[in-house]
Structure formats: structure tokens, C-alpha cells
């Protein structure tokens, strides 16, 4: 089968590549339909590694996927061939201590698509555990199904924040994840979400949603904008989604006394944190690494119409043009939020 293979840093190939694997009793075989390009896929392409995950051998990219079930293992009861589904890409060891605690996202044994040495899903067929394969309601498209994965991070962040109805939140960083976090926070009960970034075109896209206000930090310091919009009190929740050192340092200034900070963005290198700033307001600090137990909620919100992610899908590109799609993603065009690859019929 053809697959989009990262041969080594900077070198992609669309070539025959068989991912080893057999259909075990609790697995399903899925014909992939749509796969979103993630910042992590692009980072592996351009840098050959993320932290201590290094691409040492050819690896199939892609982890944000929807598809159709084409075969079920003998013990699969809740899915059948023909079901439209999306797939959760991180598979923990079900017997691990982390899995038993319900925090399987931080299971040291987790195997996550397109994270070395695990292959991803940019190939026409994949085998996946049924327990991590979710049926899509009829009114959720394949394109939206492939958005569940990045939206799941927003869901995890919103759940960690323990949002109260009517909260005001700030999101620093309007990349795809910042946008997902902002929309999950709104769906979670925030009255208003202020999104701050440097890129005006990205801010314009997210400003199209009711309940979102934007700040271009080239024009106005984010602390000033937040103070003005909260009567000097600060935001109930601050979601840091940029991973940028100045944003991390400035977090306590944005929060109200007793408020919450959720760390979502991942700095490439260690960055300083204003501990006294956190203490002086008794801020609660939460961290997010991927997600656990949020897919059902994410899909339910999308099906209810409370969250519409379609405006964030910038383009759909055929599988045959995957390499060009990745090169476009590397350019990080300011108007692109999410590029998706559509597999052949």
C-alpha cells in the first residue's frame, strides 16, 4: 500500500510501504478517509525530532484521522463494516498503572501514531483497537471527524480549567490548538474568550465566532487588553497556547486573584516562570499533555452544533499531492489553520 513516508529529516516520499500488523480480535481495519496535517507532523518533517523522539528510520506520518470500518476482529461488538469513524491515535497499555487511573495519556508505554517509532495513518488502510475508534454521528462529516483529534486537546484544557458558567478566559497563541482551546472553553461555559496573537489573519479567522474577542499583541500588550476588558480584575482562566517564553512569563499578570492557568503550548526549550507572580494571586496551575477520555464529549459537542470546526479547515488536498501539502504547511501561511489530506476513494 502507498503511504506518506518521512524517510529522514526534510525528505518525504509517497511510496509503497506496508505497516506491519495483523487484525487481532479487538481490532478493526479502517479505510482512512481524511487526515489532518498537525504541527507535530510538520516538525518531524523539518527537524527530524521532537524532544527525545527522534526519527531514526522511515516513518509514516499523520495522526488526525477519520475513515470507514471495513473489517472487524472476532470480539468487536460495537462497530461493524461501513461505520464512519474517527480514531484516537494514542494507544496505552490497558494494564498499566496510568490506564487504571484513567490518565492513559501519560502512560509511559503509550504508542501514539506518527511518534517514533510508531507509524502514523497517512496510508489507505490502518488497523486500530476498536476501543479507540469512535463512531461519527450522521451529521459529523469525515472532515470534521479528522478535527476531533486536535479539538480533543482543547477539550482536555477546558476540562482541566474547571470552567464555571460565565467565566472570562484568555488564550495566548492563536495557532490551531489555541483556536481549539478557545472554542472548547466557550462550549464549556465561558461567557467570553479573549484570544491574543501577533498574526492578524489568524485572529480574524477566530474572531468570526460569537463570544471571541481578539487582541493583536503587536498593537496592544495583552495584559493591558485583558485588564481593560475585565475592569482591572483579570481573567478567570488563562490558557497558555503559544509556548513562547514572554507569554509564559507574563501569565500571572493576566489572571484574576485565585484564577487558573492552564499550560497547553510546549516551549521547545525550558523557559522561566514567575513563581512569585503565581503565589501572590494563589493561582492554580494545570498542565495538559494530549488528552484522555474526551473523544466522546468532543464528538457530542460537534454533533450538537455547539461547536463548528469547519471554518478552521483551510483546504483539502488529495493524497497524491501530500508532499506539496506538507511543503505548504511548512511555509506556515498565515491564512491556513488546518490543511487536510483526503485519501483516494
Note whether 146 binds Zn ion by CB under 5 A: no
Kindly tell me which of 44 and 239 has the beta carbon lying closer to Zn ion.
Answer: 44
Nearer to Zn ion (CB atom), residue 155 or residue 255: 155
From 18-26, 35-43, 74-82, 243-251, give the range in contact with Zn ion by CB under 5 A. 35-43
Q: Between residue 56 and residue 75, which ones bind Zn ion under the rule CB under 5 A?
A: 64
Region at 322 (left for phi over 0; alpha for psi -120 to 50; beta for the rest): alpha
Q: How far apart are CA 121 and CA 341, in angstroms?
A: 11
Cα separation values, 255 from 167, 194, 236, 323, Å: 12, 12, 6, 42
The answer to whether residue 38 forms part of the interface with Zn ion (CB under 5 A) is yes
C-alpha cell at 15: 511510496
Minimum distance, C-beta of residue 234 to Zn ion, in the bound complex (Å): 31
In whole angstroms, the minimum distance from the beta carbon of 290 to Zn ion comes to 9
The least CB distance from residue 51 to Zn ion, in Å, is: 15
Smallest gap from residue 177 Cβ to Zn ion (A):
8
Q: To the nearest whole angstrom, how small is the minimum distance from the Cβ of residue 38 to Zn ion? A: 3
Q: Which is nearer to Zn ion, 38 or 168 (CB)?
A: 38
- Closest residue to Zn ion in the complex (CB): 38
**CB nearer Zn ion, residue 28 or residue 38:** 38
Taking the least distance from each CB to Zn ion, the nearer of 64 and 240 is 64
Exposed, middle or buried, 107 (CB in 10 Å: 0-12/13-18/19+)? Answer: buried
**Which parts of this chain interact with Zn ion (CB under 5 A)?**
38, 64
Amino acid at each position: 500500500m502507498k503511504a506518506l513516508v518521512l524517510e529522514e529529516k526534510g525528505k518525504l516520499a509517497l511510496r509503497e510501504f506496508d505497516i506491519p500488523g495483523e487484525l487481532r480480535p479487538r481490532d478493526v481495519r479502517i479505510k482512512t478517509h481524511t487526515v489532518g496535517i498537525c504541527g507535530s507532523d510538520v516538525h518531524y518533517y523539518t527537524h527530524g525530532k521532537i524532544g527525545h523522539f527522534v526519527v531514526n528510520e522511515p516513518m509514516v506520518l499523520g495522526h488526525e484521522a477519520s475513515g470507514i470500518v471495513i473489517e472487524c476482529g472476532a470480539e468487536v461488538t460495537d462497530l461493524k463494516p461501513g461505520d464512519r469513524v474517527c480514531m484516537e491515535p494514542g494507544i496505552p497499555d490497558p494494564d498499566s498503572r496510568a490506564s487504571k487511573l484513567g490518565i492513559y495519556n501519560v502512560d509511559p508505554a503509550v504508542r501514539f501514531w506518527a511518534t517514533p517509532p510508531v507509524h502514523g495513518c497517512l496510508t489507505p488502510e490502518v488497523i486500530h483497537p476498536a476501543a479507540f475508534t469512535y463512531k461519527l454521528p450522521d451529521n459529523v462529516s469525515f472532515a470534521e471527524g479528522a478535527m476531533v483529534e486536535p479539538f480533543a486537546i482543547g477539550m482536555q484544557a477546558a476540562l482541566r480549567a474547571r470552567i464555571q458558567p460565565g467565566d472570562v478566559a484568555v488564550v495566548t497563541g492563536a495557532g490551531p490548538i489555541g483556536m481549539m482551546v478557545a472554542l472548547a472553553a466557550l462550549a464549556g461555559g465561558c461567557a467570553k474568550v479573549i484570544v491574543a496573537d501577533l498574526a492578524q489573519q489568524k485572529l480574524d479567522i477566530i474572531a468570526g465566532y460569537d463570544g471571541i474577542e481578539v487582541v493583536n499583541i503587536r498593537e496592544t500588550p495583552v495584559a493591558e487588553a485583558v485588564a481593560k476588558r475585565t475592569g482591572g480584575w483579570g481573567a478567570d482562566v488563562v490558557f497558555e497556547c503559544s509556548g513562547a517564553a514572554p507569554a509564559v512569563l507574563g501569565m500571572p499578570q493576566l489572571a484574576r486573584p485565585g484564577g487558573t492557568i492552564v499550560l497547553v503550548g510546549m516551549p521547545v526549550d525550558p523557559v522561566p516562570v514567575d513563581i512569585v507572580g503565581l503565589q501572590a494571586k494563589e493561582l492554580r496551575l494545570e498542565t495538559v499533555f494530549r488528552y484522555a477520555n474526551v473523544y466522546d464529549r468532543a464528538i457530542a459537542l460537534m454533533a450538537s452544533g455547539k461547536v463548528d470546526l469547519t471554518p478552521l479547515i483551510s483546504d483539502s488536498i488529495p493524497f497524491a499531492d501530500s508532499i506539496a501539502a506538507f511543503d505548504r504547511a511548512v511555509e506556515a501561511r498565515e491564512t491556513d489553520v488546518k490543511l487536510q489530506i483526503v485519501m483516494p476513494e
